[in-house]
Structure 1
Amino acid sequence: MTISIEAPAVGARDPRPLAEDLPDDPRPAGIARLLGVGTAVSEDSYSQPELLDAFGITDSRVRSVFLNSAIDRRFLSLPGRARGGGLAEEAQGDLLDKHKAVAVDMGSRALLTCLRNIGAELSDVRYLCCVTSTGFLTPGLSAHIIRDLGIDRHCSRADIVGMGCNAGLNGLGAVTGWAAAHPGELAVMVCAEACSAAYVFDGSMRTAVVNSLFGDGAAAVAVVGGAAADAAATATPTPRVLKFASTIITDAVDAMRYDWDRSAGKFSFFLDPHIPYVVGAHAELTLDRLLAGTSLRRSDISHWLVHSGGKKVIDAVLVNLGLTHHDLRHTTGVLRDYGNLSSGSFLFSYERLQNENCVQAGEYGVLMTMGPGSTIEMALVQW
């Protein structure tokens, strides 16, 4: 079944105002509506003990990092075995090839699942934004996905590359802006992260932290703006995006980065061990900015969809925002089952919330991502 996405009549308004909860917001009907989501992962999954064996890790300190990560399994595209028994070495060129193959495959499958979930067709897609930080392509993922899936070649597109784990909300800001400017037309954001294409195996504690955490995954979310967003919504409540808030912690710009490792001759991630405390210390500031002018209190937020950045990061958010383990159940569940999926993690949590069928019309939610910069991004939504 194809959804009906029609432009609203001139002067048409969302018939359901925001119940006077956002009196100072210039866009009381919301920027756009999230119609549905779809996810995909790479082919093979591994438990943490299986990965320790695959990497040949015997150092007790490194093993402890893996085994105390609150992660059970992750999906990864690992190289084959070398003659000596360990994993084969991959040059930077091999990793870029892997990024292209895995990210395009996962991203395409996530997009198709998203469209199927809302009853849309590829021909409905008018704008495609692709987000990734695990490799570099020119042209970007959007061009490859449009070609491979046969999407209309006149589809508008954008690629957001290198912003890291927070980039899903940066991308969503661009997508909702496009959707608001083109009411009734379907926009899709795809976050595709082939984290397997960014691994360095050198036995150091620096790379051990990264290798213990990240997994492959892609998520797609469909967005429509204008009054047609409500007409396209199904019986299940779908959220309107109301506003965004952003904080870049400039004193910690180098605390999370993906740069050239001269000793390894390839790119690699670096995560400062103080990142959880940096994120936690600035989470409340960003939330206060998000809720400013809305007449909403923190207790008015029913749903929290937070990036699964790691056990310590999640704990820091929980403590500093006064949340409960139940509030972050989807975040910890995604971390447990997939690891850190970078930019698409929060959409995996959103999918789990959708599948619970527990959201009531009128409830509010906060989307939250954290990443290099160091950066905290948030969005306020209402079902």
Structure 2
Amino acid sequence: MTDTDPSIWGAQGVHTPLAPRIVGVGTASTGTSLSQQEVLDAFDISDPRIRSVFLNSAIEQRHLTLPPQNADGERVSEPQGELLAKHKALAIEMGTEALRACLKRAGADLSDLRHLCCVTSTGFLTPGLSALMIRELGIDRHCSRSDIVGMGCNAGLNALNVVSGWSSAHPGELAVVLCAEACSAAYAMDSTMRTAVVNSLFGDGAGAIALVSGTEDAASGIPEGPSILKFASCIIPEAVGAMRYDWDATQSRFSFFLDPQIPYVVGAHAELVVDRLLQGTGLRRSDIGHWLVHSGGKKVIDAVIVNLGLTRHALRHTVEVLRDYGNVSSGSFLFSYERLLDEKVAQPGDYGVLMTMGPGSTLETALVQW
């Protein structure tokens, strides 16, 4: 059975009652919020080209944990081992806060959790973050778990796709996808424009989203939320190296690379993947009331708006999350979803599209209905 087979759709283009519903969301970030000017000052950056990249990024604040200072007050480069330790500590700290906030909104406790999927691309851990979170929080040892590592900014929707399948197979049981990205642990310090683009963009953040299926009656005590109807993906093989980690032998650490053309490449494929998502549903783009797109950067957002024919208002939450947090990688779209919920404008029957993009190069989408 394919995702466009009409037998899985009802009269209004919706799935069966076993379609998983989103019943909670929560976000968190590290304690230090810095303006772009404060980041420039912290690293004593005077190159006008690099300063322009920072100050014209449409980012006002980001949460970061900066490298330590030496005796002269200069920020010192952290070895890869220290960066991995930073990633572990921040991921657990932010992940714990986001998970608790998500469960609170879902009206659930840690004891209700039956599957935990953790997503991260800013550090490598074995055992994975899911095992560390279960130990840290005293979650039931029989809670099943999964880890999605290294897929990048699109990975939140990859995880949501996988966990939606788990949820449909375990009706009534609570699952959570947790995206924890300590982008401060993935920074390189040099004077190149390549590094400047990355360092001007990313911030620390974690987002969690809770799913449950098969409990639509009010007596279940589970909050109402949109059903997840369908997913669609699009990989761009010719752009496989446009977003990647490279080993920097001079600094003995990993360094992230972003091709300057990636906003336009991603934007050019946005229409293709959205049309595939809506294929077989009877829906048009104009029927979508809510767009929640990854806050990948100003140029990425502009490219999506142009190629999908959207207004800036349609992507207001995406724009605001970029402004207030920068790009928090895989969890960015959850920050936008949380703001949409707090806005209280979504009505029963409304459709929404979630969209993320990242290394591969890949676009991921999901169709939801309230």
TM-score, normalised to structure 1, is: 0.92
1:82 aligns with 2:67: no
Q: How far apart, in 1, do the equivalents of 2:308 and 2:212 lie?
A: 31
Give the equivalent residue in structure 1 for 2:95.
Answer: 107
Q: How far apart, in 2, do the equivalents of 1:229 and 1:200 lie?
A: 51
Give the equivalent residue in structure 1 for 2:47.
Answer: 59
Give the equivalent residue in structure 2 for 1:379.
Answer: 366
User: 1:72 Cα shift?
Assistant: 0.3
User: 1:40 Cα shift?
Assistant: 0.5
Which of 162, 173, 184 is residue 150 of structure 2 equivalent to?
162
Alignment of 1:117-266 (within 5 A): 117-228=105-216, 232=220, 237-266=224-253
Q: How far apart, in 1, do the equivalents of 2:18 and 2:290 lie?
A: 18
Which of 265, 275, 300 is residue 262 of structure 2 equivalent to?
275
Aligned to 1:327, what secondary structure does the other structure show? helix
Alignment of 1:32-43 (within 5 A): 32-43=20-31
Aligned to 1:83, what secondary structure does the other structure show? coil
Give the equivalent residue in structure 2 for 1:337.
Answer: 324
Paired residues of 2:107 and 2:222 also in contact (CA < 8 A)? no
Q: How far apart, in 1, do the equivalents of 2:219 and 2:272 lie?
A: 36
Q: How far apart, in 2, do the equivalents of 1:108 and 1:334 lie?
A: 21
Q: What are structure 2's unaligned runs of at least 5 residues?
A: 1-7
1:310 aligns with 2:310: no
One-letter amino acid matched to 2:279: A
Q: How far apart, in 2, do the equivalents of 1:302 and 1:231 lie?
A: 29
User: 1:30 Cα shift?
Assistant: 6.1
Sort the Cα spacing of 1:269 and 1:217 in 2 relative to 1 into closer, same or farther, 3 A: same
Between 348-357 and 80-89, the greater mean CA deviation after superposition: 80-89
One-letter amino acid matched to 1:21: Q
Aligned to 1:303, what secondary structure does the other structure show? strand
Give the equivalent residue in structure 2 for 1:20.
Answer: 11
Aligned to 1:46, what secondary structure does the other structure show? strand
Paired residues of 1:279 and 1:376 also in contact (CA < 8 A)? yes
User: 1:84 Cα shift?
Assistant: 3.2
Size of the alignment, in residue pairs? 363
Q: How far apart, in 1, do the equivalents of 2:297 and 2:218 lie?
A: 36
Q: How far apart, in 2, do the equivalents of 1:71 and 1:305 lie?
A: 18
Which of 80, 85, 105 is residue 97 of structure 1 equivalent to?
85
Which of 348, 361, 366 is residue 361 of structure 1 equivalent to?
348
User: 1:85 Cα shift?
Assistant: 2.5
User: 1:119 Cα shift?
Assistant: 1.4
User: 1:263 Cα shift?
Assistant: 2.3
Q: Deviations over 1:42-97 (max 9, x none)?
A: 11110000000001110000000000000000000112212233212200000000
Give the equivalent residue in structure 1 for 2:3.
Answer: none
Q: How far apart, in 1, do the equivalents of 2:242 and 2:50 lie?
A: 20
User: 1:231 Cα shift?
Assistant: 5.4
Q: How far apart, in 2, do the equivalents of 1:349 and 1:311 lie?
A: 15
Q: How far apart, in 1, do the equivalents of 2:186 and 2:18 lie?
A: 37
Paired residues of 2:18 and 2:168 also in contact (CA < 8 A)? no
Give the equivalent residue in structure 2 for 1:73.
Answer: 61
Between 112-121 and 268-277, the greater mean CA deviation after superposition: 112-121
User: 1:203 Cα shift?
Assistant: 1.1
